[in-house]
Amino acid sequence: MEYSRKLLKDSAKDKEGKKEFAIKNVPFIKWTGVRTDTKMEIGKTTVHQEEYNVFDFDERLKAIYDDEDKLKYSPKDLVALIKSYFFLEKVQGVPNYEDEKIKIQRLIRRNVIIGYKKYRRKLGLKDVSILKFCYSWFGLIWFK
């Protein structure tokens, strides 16, 4: 997700384009594609387009949320954030829904990045990424 954010920011021409993909505006990035099926017959041509998800962090969170066995191995603060996020999805009509949703998404994103780095360090594993673009230090996260 963070690598795709870097790609989107790098491809933006101006500062407004870069701000469009800022973490405070869009914490979870979703990639979609369109499949086109063209059928040609004598006298008519039909085109059927279908949208599909390439990467959707909401879907991954939903799969984790639905499977209680996966939640057992997650840190308690992350589990609480995920449960709060899907509770908020069920009560979409509340005031400040969008603000709260983005706030929880930012907290989940931060928790995942810091937790990933923390547990890799505890296991004694080095960073496997060849392209280092995301750094964290004492809870602060920044990008190269």
pTM, entire model: 0.69
Span 14-38, pLDDT tens digits: 777 777 777 777 778 888 888 898 8
Residue 57 in tokens: 């962090």
Whats the size of the chain, residue-wise?
Answer: 144
Per residue in 46-87, pLDDT (tens digit) is 998 998 888 888 888 898 889 888 888 888 898 999 999 999
